[in-house]
């Protein structure tokens, strides 16, 4: 009986690791302040801002959602936080709750949107093994967002739904390019992440150390999951590599980063002088890995660092509030 329980626990730990097949890890350090100059902003403004959606925002001193992502106290940050009050009639939900795994890239995509748009939200960290926090829902994945009791699922659909509420004219302003790159994030970029963060035994342990420290695990689950999960994901990531036709995971990550920088065409953001939904999506899924070995390597070996720093400043502090 005990042995069966032990096997079950291990299987669950590995299943817990399974979520991390599509999950990445958050860690961090002070955001680097970087220059806003040096970009052909006027061209970008003209060409891209046609598609820009307005950003309702309000200055708020809130608990930082991703505890390691404190923001530099630079003038840039102040600029990013010089937030106007949302115009009357705008989307002002009373209660927004994000059911998430702290390290999940899809959840971080939604958080990037909520943070950028300064929509206050509570977080419920879901236990990946028993998922008891989302037992009430028929949907068994995260993120799940509830907005004044209305359930929304799937990160891209959640963002679309929120945008329809914050910017009712969104459908008209929506650009094909933005949609294309949002699709690239979901269909390509996220698949490059797991093979990278579990690439070696030490990277897999680094990742699971974060997952188990910041996720919702009991003491025993944490102990078992850290080592069993890291070991399992090390092997699973090799399968994922094959599944997604990746031969060299680091090269694929660098290639994705360079592809993204090329897409910016010299502008600050894909959205021009302000981030659009594709910028927020790329930033959101990369944020959990940024300060892991894979993320550090990516910034060191590609041109993505400058855009990333600008995004950190533009997104600003988390709009998460205590539950």
Ligand X SMILES: N[C@@H](CCC(=O)N[C@@H](CS)C(=O)NCC(=O)O)C(=O)O
Give me the active site residues, please. Answer: 101, 104, 106-107
Tell the smallest beta-carbon distance from residue 104 to ligand X (Å).
3
Kindly tell me which of 216 and 302 has the beta carbon lying closer to ligand X.
216
Q: Name the closest residue to ligand X (Cβ).
A: 19
* Closest to ligand X by CB, 90 or 156: 156
Q: Give CA–CA dist 70/221, Å, rounded.
A: 29
Nearer to ligand X, 58 or 97 (CB): 97
Contacts of 132 (CB under 8 A, 6+ apart): none
Peptide bond into 3 cis (omega under 30): no
Smallest Cα–Cα separation from 57: which of 133, 116, 125, 131? 116
Min CB(133)–ligand X separation in Å: 12
**Residue 3 CA to its chain's centroid (Å):** 38
**Cβ 294 to ligand X, closest distance in Å?**
16
Are 64 and 318 in contact, with CB atoms under 8 Å apart? yes
3-state secondary structure of 167: coil
**Nearest residue (CB) to ligand X, 143 versus 305:** 143
Quick one: DSSP state of residue 52? P
Contact set with ligand X (CB under 6 A): 19, 22-23, 101, 104, 106, 128, 141-143, 154-156
Q: How far is the CB of 122 from ligand X (least distance, A)?
A: 18
DSSP state of 39: S
């Amino acid at each position: 009986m005990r042995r069966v329980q032990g096997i079950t626990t291990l299987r669950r730990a590995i299943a817990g690791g399974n979520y991390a097949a599509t999950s990445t890890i958050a860690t961090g350090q002070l955001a680097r302040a970087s220059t806003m100059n040096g970009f052909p902003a006027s061209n970008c403004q003209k060409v891209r801002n046609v598609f820009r959606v307005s950003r309702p925002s309000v200055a708020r001193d809130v608990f930082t959602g991703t505890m390691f992502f404190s923001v530099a106290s630079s003038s840039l940050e102040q600029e990013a936080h010089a937030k106007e009050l949302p115009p009357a009639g705008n989307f002002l939900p009373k209660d927004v709750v994000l059911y998430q795994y702290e390290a999940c890239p899809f959840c971080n995509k939604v958080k990037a949107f909520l943070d950028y748009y300064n929509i206050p939200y509570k977080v419920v960290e879901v236990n990946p093994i028993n998922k008891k926090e989302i037992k009430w829902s028929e949907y068994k994945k995260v993120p799940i967002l509830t907005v004044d009791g209305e359930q929304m699922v799937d990160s891209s659909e959640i963002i679309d739904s929120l945008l329809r509420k914050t910017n009712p004219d969104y459908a008209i302003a929506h650009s094909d390019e933005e949609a294309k790159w949002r699709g690239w994030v979901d269909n390509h970029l996220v698949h490059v992440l797991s093979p990278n963060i579990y690439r070696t035994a030490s990277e897999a342990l680094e990742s699971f150390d974060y997952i188990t420290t910041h996720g919702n695990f009991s003491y025993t689950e944490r102990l078992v999951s850290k080592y069993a999960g890291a070991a399992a994901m090390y092997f699973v990531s090799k399968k994922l590599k094959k599944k997604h036709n990746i031969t060299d995971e680091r090269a694929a990550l660098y290639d994705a980063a360079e592809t993204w920088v090329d897409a910016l065409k010299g502008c600050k953001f894909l959205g021009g002088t302000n981030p659009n939904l594709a910028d927020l999506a790329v930033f959101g899924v990369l944020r959990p890995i940024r300060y892991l070995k894979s993320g550090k390597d990516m910034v060191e070996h590609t041109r993505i660092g400058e855009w990333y720093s600008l995004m950190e400043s533009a997104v600003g502090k988390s709009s998460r509030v205590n539950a």
